[in-house]
Amino acid sequence: MKLRLLVATAFIAACSTPTVETPMPAPDASHLQALERTSAAGALAHLPVWTGIEAADVEPGVQALLAELEAQFTAIEQSPEPTWAGLMVPLERINLRLGRVFGPISHLLSVKYADPLQTAFDAVRPDLVAFSNRMAQSSAVYEAMKTLADSAEAATLNTAQKRILSESIRGMERAGVHLQGAAKARYQEIQTRLADLSNTFRTNLVKEEKTARVRAHEKHEVEGIPAAILEMAAKTAREDGVDGASTEDGPWHFQVNGVNYTVVTHGAHRPLREAFYRAYRARGTSQTLDNRPVLEEILSLRQEMAALVGFDSYAALSVDAKMAPSTEAVWELLDALEAAAKPVARSEQDDLLAFMRAQGAEEADDLQPWDVSYWSEKLQESRYGYDSEGLRQYFQLPVVLDGLFALTEKLYGATVTPATDRAPLWDDDMMFFEVRQNDAVVAGFYLDPYARAGEKRGGAWMNTVVDRTRLLAPAGGTSSLPVALLVMNARPPAEGQPALMSLDEVRTLFHEFGHATQLLFTEIEDGGASGLDLVEWDAVELASQFNEYWMDHPPFLKGLSRHVETGEPLDDALINRIIDSANFMAGNATLRQVLYAKADFLIHERYGKEGENRSPMDMEQQVAEATQVLPSLEGESLLPAFTHLFAGGYAAGYYSYKWAEVLAADAFGAFQEVGLDNAEGVREVAGHFKSTVLALGGSLPAEEVYRQFRGRDASPDALLRKQGLM
């Protein structure tokens, strides 16, 4: 998942020179200086000093920053100069500075949550929203932009600058620049309240994870659960005050998070599977941290906001800024995918029940949602001769990283090397890397790989630390070097061992690194359109999902594997079985994504509208009943824990995963057409992919960028064939 924080980042490679830090402010220096302090790692500059961000500096420092920026913006408004240098450059400087202060604070709340920092951020967030609203709704700036767009200078702007200007004008229109009086004031109230609610939604889940537990006391209850998970559960029990809790004898306290969901996948004890499944699906609904009223208010305010700026629904407002041409086009894609997947999903269900009966499983006559993952895993083991937990022994994080970086060099001619000792970090388990091309550092990135319950929110994401932009160019350079951050929630390593990864975790790493390649290799030096800036949200998953496809190429997958004890790679027969299993339960997996996308789009299109009396959870449930084949829990809802929609950037846009998956499958088809073992042909196609999809950022609409790469529009056929749905 790609998230857009306020901060600008870049993938950067550190040189062999030591880290040079900006001196600490003197005792009487402002709090703002402390927040703006940055560090350099060789050629990579503008890196936040993460551990130097203190809660005590946030409120006074941010107030000082906003006072300075308010004065600068007032000067622009009072005498707007309708030129690129006089208008657009000063505006970018303001946004850059905002991002370099707020971005790191926001990021730390996602990966190193602490109540004092949250309290400090809450205190200043309304002022940030108010200032952002003021910038977005400035009539003077809007008119100056339109004057610039109609001027002779506009013809001399480069492609990226032209798009930055046109999209800035459209963005201000979507933000209500034409609103006056009470309507304008109401829009600003909504924006402030939405920021508060999204923060509450996210924070509730982080807080809940600190205390939510599923407990087991007897050995028979934990049969089948991997030892690494039991070790973590015993450690949690000791932290909860249970003296003598051990991996072998328990008791075991399972934190209710994604890492421990393997209880449902591998636990032989059905009651424990049920208990964990129910607890996991109940996230966001606890009495004191209930996200249901939060999300309902968010949806109501989004609909009201959309109406204020002239749209029928928030879904229509969302699509206006995306690659999809209309809301109808979104529904058409999702309906087509559902129609293709449902017959396959029904066949998969029949196969699963037949297997369960053959194994003597009593639950075959009463299949429940907590049985599906467990028996699907057993069926996969039986059919393909491996189990997902056993495969972990072959995928060591250091070896997987070596394989990923070798692929990067093969495709794009770029080398990736560690530089952790030279960069400021926010956790001891982090890594930092530099990216070189032609022996010159061109970018860098952070990797924060492991789950940290109670301080790091779930999921995985990529974000920008430093954008490529002329405004941050070093002496003698034309622009800053980009730096990215990649965050995962993989299982932490056992003591004395490297981290062992599941296939899903390996795919997640490839996915997030794919996002980063659009930042690492961007050639656009205008900050507003470099990297992922201005890339439409439903095209932003193209590079990430494309990068995953390499894992289905047998020689490459073999190169990622090395048994943790023997050092042997996976044998060819097992690799072929793994790849053959790629479409295992693909019909139901597609329906699950269609459910999420349809529920998201429906609630943002219909909730609160005239004649619509269903709650968001009821709307989701009705979509599930019409879409799904396998059973679900009565009243089950993903929405109270769906951070993508209510604390991220995917509201009325979760369909983007499937939209971009069509692009990614079609793009990978270009490599398949020349032959994946044709080294010269692959390099040629990769060079074209790099010079278009990865290099051009948001300087052109995504459909034009894709046509430059492929010579035509994408077709869904490649995806349907790949997933066995066609």
Does residue 113 sit within a domain? yes
Q: Supply the CATH number for residue 64's domain.
A: 1.10.1370.40
Domain contains 138: yes
- Determine the pLDDT at residue 723: 85
Does residue 131 fall inside a structural domain?
Answer: yes
Residue 556 in 3-state DSSP? helix
Burial class of residue 583 (count of CB atoms within 10 Å of its CB; 0-12, 13-18, 19+): middle
pLDDT at 568 over 60: yes
Please tell me the distance from the alpha carbon of residue 77 to that of residue 135, in angstroms, as a whole number.
Answer: 9
Mean pLDDT of the 378-385 span: 94
**pLDDT per position as a tens digit, 505-529:** 999 999 999 999 999 999 999 999 9
Residues labelled as active-site residues = 512
Tell me the pLDDT of the chain averaged across its residues. 93
pTM for the whole structure: 0.88
pLDDT at position 726: 76
pLDDT (0 to 100) of residue 5: 34
What's the pLDDT at 13? 26
Q: Which residue has the higher pLDDT, 157 or 724?
A: 157
pLDDT tens by residue, 43-65: 999 999 999 999 999 999 999 99
pLDDT at 4 over 60: no
pLDDT score, position 722: 85
DSSP code string of 401-440: HHHHHHHHHHHHSEEEEE-GGGS--SSTT-EEEEEEETTE
Answer yes or no: is 191 within a domain: yes
- Least Cα distance to 402 among 269, 559, 619, 587 occurs for 559
- Does residue 369 carry a pLDDT above 50? yes
Give the max Cα distance, the chain: 80
Count of domains in the chain? Answer: 1
Q: Report whether pLDDT(309) > 60.
A: yes
The confidence score (pLDDT) of residue 635 equals: 85
Q: Confidence band (pLDDT; 50, 70, 90) for 20?
A: very low
Residue 30 scores a pLDDT above 90:
no
pLDDT digits (tens, 9 = 90+) for 209-267: 889 999 999 999 999 999 999 999 999 999 999 999 999 999 999 999 988 999 999 99
Euclidean distance between CA atoms 312 and 340, whole angstroms: 30
Q: By the 8 A CB rule, do 422 and 14 touch?
A: yes
439 to 20, 89, 435, 711: CA distances (angstroms): 21, 32, 9, 32
Residues 480, 466: contact at Cβ < 8 Å?
A: yes
CB of 114 within 8 A of CB of 455? Answer: yes
Please tell me the distance from the alpha carbon of residue 699 to that of residue 394, in angstroms, as a whole number: 41
Tell me what the mean pLDDT of segment 604-625 comes to: 95
Q: Is residue 476 part of a domain?
A: no
Confidence of residue 649 (pLDDT cuts 50, 70, 90): confident
- Least Cα distance to 627 among 656, 598, 650 occurs for 598
Report in angstroms the alpha-carbon separations of 242 from 217, 225, 458.
12, 21, 26
User: What does the pLDDT look like over 553-562, one tens digit per residue?
Assistant: 999 999 999 9
Pair of tokens at residue 540: 């932003």
Please, is 607 exposed, middle or buried when counting C-beta atoms within 10 Å of its C-beta (0-12, 13-18, 19+)? buried
Question: Which residue, among 592, 171, 229, 558, has the nearest Cα to 389 in the 3D structure?
Answer: 229
CB neighbour list of residue 257: distance below 8 Å, 6 or more residues apart? 209, 451, 453, 458, 489
Edge to edge, the sheet with strand 414-418 lists 414-418, 431-437, 440-450, 483-490, 461-466
Question: Is position 116 within any domain?
Answer: yes
Instruction: For tokens 């088809």, name the residue.
Output: 669
Give the pLDDT band (50/70/90) at residue 23.
very low
The pLDDT > 70 percentage for the chain reads 96
Contact status, residue 492 vs residue 451, Cβ threshold 8 Å? yes
Residue 1 has a pLDDT of: 47
Residue 178 resides in a domain: yes
pLDDT band at 96 (very low <50, low <70, confident <90, very high): very high
**Residue 216 covered by a domain:** no
CA angle (507 as vertex; 481, 202 as ends), nearest 5: 75
Question: Averaged over 422-449, what is the pLDDT?
Answer: 97
**Domain region containing 101:** 30-206
